[in-house]
């Protein structure tokens, strides 16, 4: 592919206008959060979010840079094998619906750490959960911020750090002013913006591909032969990588702190289930679109993938296939959706990290939440600015975060909700083993350990063995410590599984009044131990 084709001209004023409009809408809607005053407003939007709005908000924060840019880039680079990313990201909510959604809402918790302590009555479990919430939140935000820098550099020619700093500043303002209440509304609007921003250009690209529309009056661009072949995704090792990816995405969704936090905002367990069903539908529609960009990018602009710029396929393809003002308008629309993706996902992650830091370090009230929001946003920004890029796709980097989530919080939630004999020692051991293995293995792979053979594949995609290791460790240590099963385990399990009308306890009734403190479930468990 020629250099002229790779360097698609961009209409910087239109693209800048699109970015600024998204920023203005985000900050403007975030002003709604000025109505937030109480602690429940900031942590769980006072548990009054309707299933439809919550489904759009969950989808809005879940559809990150990996979904918006990364999947299309991987498809353009490696082909149909990468379709499993979209399938896995969606199917994870089916597992969450069946196993976790309603019981997690009935727990009355504000955060995963709250749930862990209330279920097992242990500060050690709480602290371990908090460490992994912060780790996952930080690791997940970094690719979003890197993607923002990449997008702004691609469509404006601005330095990469400018996109990172811009997203950080907007997220910080949104989170501090209104917490969960305002961010919920922002994310629900941003889902529809992202869907529109990908769907309209995708339809135009399909019309050009099929020869139905001839923009500019000339013939459609001719397909470019694919002259490169990506390595490392074939044979038995490629099959293992696919299976490991499926494990990570199917089970990692329930372990993402910003996803589980959403289910605390529903009025009850039934609403949590309805929210999850809505998310499945909304994600299913969205994930039809990156495939269009990936397939057409592989056909018409393979040079981007060959040059290591596959993550820019979505941003550049409309301008490549549709010349003139129409192509510039479509590019600006895609750019607007990309920034909505960066902002919504970073907002959700910052909320989840700020919530646990506030409760464990800053007192758990509104002032503490605001104080915790600063490091929750600024630290990943600093990491994104200081560390050089790994060379991996944004979607691949996010997939590794899913591996950590699947290896830590998935066993904790599944066993904590469905197995009475889980103990604090087992939970801590399982999270440490699973989290340590899933974080250390890809690091070793990046350092070149294992090479390109079977050992390298096992290290690069650890979920297939790190998740079973975490489950086995959690179960084994729990069975070795039967005397440490919490005395109130049966009561807590009844609360998780019985309808609210039968299992409602003091924490639920005070939550309904809208004035309980942020750590009420935790205090209740501590009171029980005393």
Using 50, 70 and 90 to split pLDDT, how confident is the model at 219?
A: low
pLDDT in tens, 255-301: 898 888 777 777 887 888 888 899 999 999 999 999 999 999 888 88
pLDDT in tens, 163-189: 999 999 999 988 887 777 778 888 888
71 neighbors 290 (Cβ within 8 angstroms) = yes
Output the CA–CA distances (angstroms, integers) from residue 217 to 145, 212, 220, in the order listed. 39, 12, 9
**Average pLDDT of the segment spanning 501-510:** 51
The domain defined by 3-214+235-502 carries CATH number 1.20.1730.10: yes
Q: What is the pLDDT of residue 524?
A: 37
201's tokens:
């250009």
DSSP for 229-259, please give it.
---SSSHHHHHHHHHHHHHHHHHHGGG-HHH
Using 50, 70 and 90 to split pLDDT, how confident is the model at 361?
A: confident
Strands (E), 142-223: none
CA distance 223 to 524: 65
Q: What is the pLDDT of residue 197?
A: 94
**Average pLDDT of the segment spanning 232-257:** 80
Dihedrals φ, ψ of 213, to 5°?
-125, 135
Q: Identify which of 10-14, 158-162, 309-313 has the greatest average pLDDT.
A: 158-162
Q: Quote the crossing angle between the two packed helices 123-156 and 324-361, to the nearest 10°.
A: 160
Using 50, 70 and 90 to split pLDDT, how confident is the model at 408?
A: very high
Q: What is the pLDDT of residue 234?
A: 42
Region of poorest pLDDT, from 78-82, 235-239, 411-415, 481-485: 235-239
Using 50, 70 and 90 to split pLDDT, how confident is the model at 528?
A: very low
Q: What is the pLDDT of residue 10?
A: 52
pLDDT in tens, 440-456: 998 888 787 877 778 88
Q: How many residues does the chain have?
A: 530
Question: Would you say residue 393 has pLDDT above 80?
Answer: no
Other C-beta atoms closer than 10 Å to the C-beta of 273 total 18
CA distance 237 to 72: 22
Higher pLDDT, 388 or 292: 292
Q: Is 256 helix (H, G, I), strand (E, B) or coil?
A: coil
Closest by CA position to 190, among listed 344, 347, 29: 344
Region of poorest pLDDT, from 207-211, 314-318, 456-460, 510-514: 510-514
CA distance 116 to 463: 22
Q: What is the pLDDT of residue 192?
A: 94
483 neighbors 80 (Cβ within 8 angstroms) = no
pLDDT in tens, 22-54: 999 888 876 665 555 666 766 766 777 888 888
Question: Would you say residue 8 has pLDDT above 80?
Answer: no
Average model confidence (pLDDT) across the chain? 83
Using 50, 70 and 90 to split pLDDT, how confident is the model at 509?
A: very low
Q: What is the pLDDT of residue 278?
A: 92
Question: Would you say residue 516 has pLDDT above 50?
Answer: no
């Amino acid at each position: 592919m020629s250099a002229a084709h790779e360097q698609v001209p961009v209409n910087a004023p239109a693209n800048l206008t699109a970015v600024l409009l998204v920023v203005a809408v985000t900050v403007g809607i975030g002003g709604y959060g000025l109505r937030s005053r109480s602690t429940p407003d900031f942590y769980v939007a006072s548990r009054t979010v309707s299933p439809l709005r919550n489904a759009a908000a969950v989808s809005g924060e879940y559809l990150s840079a990996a979904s918006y840019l990364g999947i299309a880039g991987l498809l353009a680079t490696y082909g149909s094998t990468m379709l499993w990313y979209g399938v896995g990201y969606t199917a994870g909510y089916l597992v969450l619906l069946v196993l976790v959604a309603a019981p997690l809402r009935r727990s009355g918790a504000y955060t995963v750490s709250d749930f862990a302590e209330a279920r097992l009555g242990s500060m050690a479990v709480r602290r371990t959960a908090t460490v992994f919430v912060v780790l996952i939140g930080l690791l997940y935000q970094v690719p979003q911020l890197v993607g923002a820098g990449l997008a702004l550099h691609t469509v404006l020619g601005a330095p990469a750090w400018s996109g990172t700093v811009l997203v950080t500043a907007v997220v910080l303002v949104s989170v501090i002013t209104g917490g969960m209440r305002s961010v919920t509304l922002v994310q629900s609007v941003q889902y529809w913006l992202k869907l529109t921003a990908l769907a309209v250009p995708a339809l135009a690209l399909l019309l050009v591909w099929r020869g139905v529309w001839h923009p500019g009056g000339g013939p459609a661009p001719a397909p470019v032969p694919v002259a490169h072949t990506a390595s490392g995704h074939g044979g038995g090792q490629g099959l293992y990588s696919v299976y490991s990816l499926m494990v990570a995405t199917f089970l990692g969704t329930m372990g993402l702190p910003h996803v589980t936090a959403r289910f605390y905002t529903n009025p009850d367990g039934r609403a949590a289930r309805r929210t999850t069903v809505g998310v499945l539908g909304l994600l299913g529609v969205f994930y039809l679109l990156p495939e269009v960009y990936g397939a057409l990018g592989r056909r018409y602009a393979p040079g981007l993938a060959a040059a290591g710029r596959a993550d820019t396929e979505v941003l550049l393809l409309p301008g490549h296939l549709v010349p003139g003002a129409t192509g510039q308008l479509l590019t600006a629309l895609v750019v607007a959706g990309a920034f909505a993706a960066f902002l919504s996902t970073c907002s959700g992650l910052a909320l989840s990290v700020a919530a646990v830091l506030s409760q464990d370090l800053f007192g758990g009230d509104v002032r503490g939440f605001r104080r915790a929001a600063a490091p929750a946003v600024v630290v990943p920004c600093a990491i994104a600015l200081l560390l050089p890029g790994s060379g991996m796709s944004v979607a691949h980097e996010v997939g590794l975060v899913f591996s950590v989530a699947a290896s830590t919080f998935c066993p904790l939630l599944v066993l904590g909700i469905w197995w009475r004999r889980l103990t604090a020692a087992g939970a801590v051991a399982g999270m440490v083993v699973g989290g340590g293995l899933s974080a250390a293995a890809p690091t070793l792979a990046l350092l070149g350990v294992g090479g390109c053979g079977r050992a390298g594949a096992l290290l690069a995609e650890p979920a297939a063995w790190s998740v079973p290791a975490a489950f086995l460790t959690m179960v084994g240590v729990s069975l070795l410590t039967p005397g440490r099963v919490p005395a109130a385990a049966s009561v807590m399990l009844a609360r998780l599984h019985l309808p609210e009308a039968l299992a409602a306890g003091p924490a639920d009734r005070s939550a309904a009044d809208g004035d309980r403190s942020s750590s009420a479930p935790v205090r209740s468990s501590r009171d029980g131990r005393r």
